[in-house]
């Protein structure tokens, strides 16, 4: 009785061996080009904030009507 479950698994043994042979590898490698960080978004937000503040000041001090 104990050997029967092993015989049932025998077709799967080659698949298990192949899957163990193809295990993925992890490699850490530095990039070829330097990493660049685009800061245009921060500058754009800073300019927009200044324009909004100036617009609020203008509306408060100068009446449109």
In the chain, the number of structural domains is: 1
* pLDDT band for position 23 (cuts 50, 70, 90): low
pLDDT on residue 41: 67
Distance CA 50, CA 44 (A): 10
Looking from the CA of 56 toward its CB, the CA atoms found within 13 Å total 6
The yes-or-no verdict on residue 34 having pLDDT over 80 is: yes
- Give the range of the structural domain holding residue 56, as residue numbers without chain letter: 37-65
CA 51 vs CA 35, 39, 47, 64, 65: distances in Å:
32, 19, 6, 18, 21
pTM value is: 0.32
For residue 10, being part of any structural domain is answered with: no
For residue 16, being part of any structural domain is answered with: no
pLDDT on residue 63: 72
The yes-or-no verdict on residue 61 having pLDDT over 70 is: yes
Distance CA 17, CA 27 (A): 23
């Amino acid at each position: 009785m104990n050997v029967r479950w092993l015989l049932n698994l025998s077709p799967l043994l080659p698949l298990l061996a192949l899957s163990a042979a193809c295990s993925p590898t992890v490699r850490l490698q530095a990039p070829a080009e330097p990493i660049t960080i685009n800061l245009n978004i921060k500058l754009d937000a800073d300019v927009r904030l200044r324009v909004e503040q100036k617009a609020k000041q203008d509306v408060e001090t100068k009446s449109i009507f």
